[in-house]
Amino acid sequence: MQEVYELFNAIGCCSFATRDGENGIDARIAHFFAYDDEGLYLRTMRVKPFYRQLKEGGVLAVSAERTGAPCSWDDDNLPHFQPGYMVRVSGEVRELTQAEVDEKAAGNPLFNVAVYDINKYPETVVFVLHRFHGEYYDYDFNMVHRDHKILRERFAFGGDSFVPAGLSIDPDRCIACGACAEACTHKAIFPTDDGAAYRILGERCDECGNCFHVCPAGAVRSKGC
């Protein structure tokens, strides 16, 4: 939990998206202010739409990006990204009682800001994202620091589950022609140890579909169907 919190905290302001009934999806910039072994914590005010959406929908999605410099563009209007990372989580939230906030504040200094805000703005409330799944997506698209573009790690908390990153290859259908590896710009595809088939490293796979597109045997499994 600490690692996930620190990834978001290093970014600061992040995009928090909620369901808004018949209006669809709403989003705003916010941040997590604390963590513990029960989840990630955020705060808002009862008078805000954010509060109503959290209470009625009970779910939250948060995403953010950190990079060393803004994207630049070449003469062909193609982007060049500096190395960085993206992180996202999606899951269930619940409101804490004042007694819970007080108890946590007694042992966790990260809750000092919540106590301060509650005293200054009495309509302040605290929510915890207590069950969620997410992904850490480290990118170096121009391969400045390594010989492949991305490293992905997916995770879950509070009893939630996640779908592993990356496409996959059915070894029973693979004919080991190598077309997939040639088409993979992310350098995520390699022969198996016995050379009888190819395999995809999920942590390097961006799920771009190039391997799916070129495979003559239909061995690459799509997540879209």
pTM: 0.91
Q: Residue 21's pLDDT is what?
A: 87
- Residue range 179-205, pLDDT digits in tens: 999 999 999 999 999 999 999 999 999
Give one DSSP letter per residue of 14-68, joined into a string. Answer: EEEEEE-GGG-EEEEEE---EEETTEEEEEEETTSHHHHHHHHH-EEEEEEEEES
Architecture field, domain 2-157: Roll (2.30)
Q: Which one of 3.30.70.1350, 3.30.70.20, 1.10.3210.10, 1.10.1740.10 gives the CATH number of domain 168-221?
A: 3.30.70.20
Helix (H, G, I), strand (E, B) or coil at 89: strand
Residue 225: its pLDDT value, please?
55
List pLDDT tens digits, range 86-131.
999 999 999 999 999 999 999 999 999 999 999 999 999 999 999 9
Do β-strands 79-80 and 72-73 pair in parallel, antiparallel, or remain unpaired? antiparallel
Contact between 122 and 98 (Cβ < 8 Å): no
Give the start-to-end residue ranges of the domains of the chain: 2-157, 168-221
Q: Strand, helix or coil at 11? A: helix
Closest among 53, 52, 57, 63 to 90, alpha carbons compared: 63
DSSP letter (8 states) at residue 81: P
What is the pLDDT averaged over residues 17-26?
93
Q: Is the pLDDT of residue 224 over 80?
A: no
Q: Which helix (H) or strand (E) holds 136?
A: strand 124-139
Rounded-to-5 percentages of helix, strand, coil across the chain: 25, 35, 40
Q: How does residue 70 score in pLDDT terms, banded at 50, 70 and 90?
A: confident
Alpha carbons 211 and 166: distance in angstroms, whole number: 11
pLDDT digits (tens, 9 = 90+) for 125-157: 999 999 999 999 999 999 989 999 999 999 999
Residue 2: predicted pLDDT: 94
Contact between residue 198 and residue 143 where contact means Cβ atoms under 8 Å apart: no
Beta bridge partners of 28: 16
Residue type, 165: A
